[in-house]
Amino acid sequence: MKIKEVEIRTIELPLVRPFRTSFGTQLDRELLVMKITTHEGAQGWAECVAMSEPLYSPEYTAGCQDVMERFLLPAIFEFGDIRPEEVAGVLKPFLSHQMSKATIETAILDAQLKLDGISFGSYLGANKTEVDCGVSVGIAKSIDALVEEVSQYISEGYRRIKLKIEPGWDLEPVSVIRGLWPDIPLQVDANQAYSRNDIDLLKQLDPFNLLLIEQPLDEHDVLGHALLSAAVETPICLDESITSFEAARDALALKATTVINIKPGRVGGYLESVRIHDLCVEHDIAVWCGGMLETGIGRAANVALAALPGFTLPGDTSASSRYYKRDITNPFVMEDGRLRVPTGPGIGVDIDHDFLDEITSARKIITAS
Residue 219 touching ligand NPQ (CB under 6 A): no
What is the footprint of ligand NPQ within residues 111-140 (CB under 6 A)?
136
Neighbours of 87 (CB within 10 A): 25
In the complex, least distance from residue 366 CB atom to ligand NPQ, rounded to whole angstroms: 24
Stretch that binds ligand NPQ, among 198-206, 264-272, 285-293, 332-340 (CB under 6 A): 285-293
- 8 A C-beta contact, residue 290 and residue 56: no
Integer Cα distance of 177 and 179 in angstroms? 5
Among positions 19, 153, 158, 324, the unique one binding ligand NPQ when judged by CB under 6 A: 19
Neighbours of 254 (CB within 10 A): 13
Among this protein's residues, is 263 annotated catalytic? yes
In the complex, least distance from residue 260 CB atom to Mg ion, rounded to whole angstroms: 11
Q: Is 109 exposed, middle or buried (0-12, 13-18, 19+ CB in 10 A)?
A: buried
- Per-residue exposure over 143-180, b if at least 16 CB sit within 10 Å of its own CB, e if not: eeebbebbeebbeeebbbbbbbbbeebbeebbebbbee
Residue 323 touching ligand NPQ (CB under 6 A): no
Residue 51 touching ligand NPQ (CB under 6 A): yes
26 binds, among ligand NPQ, Mg ion, none (CB under 5 to 8 A by kind): ligand NPQ
In the complex, least distance from residue 113 CB atom to ligand NPQ, rounded to whole angstroms: 26
Residue 29 touching ligand NPQ (CB under 6 A): yes
- 8 A C-beta contact, residue 317 and residue 133: yes
Bridge partners (DSSP) of residue 47 are 33
Among this protein's residues, is 141 annotated catalytic? no
Instruction: Give the residue with the Cβ less far from ligand NPQ, 214 or 352.
Output: 214
Find the catalytic residue in 35, 114, 162, 164.
164
295 binds, among Mg ion, ligand NPQ, none (CB under 5 to 8 A by kind): none
Integer Cα distance of 91 and 71 in angstroms? 9
Which residues make up the interface to ligand NPQ (CB under 6 A)?
Answer: 19, 21, 26, 29, 51, 56, 136, 189, 191, 239, 290-293, 316
Catalytic residue numbers, as ranges: 164, 263
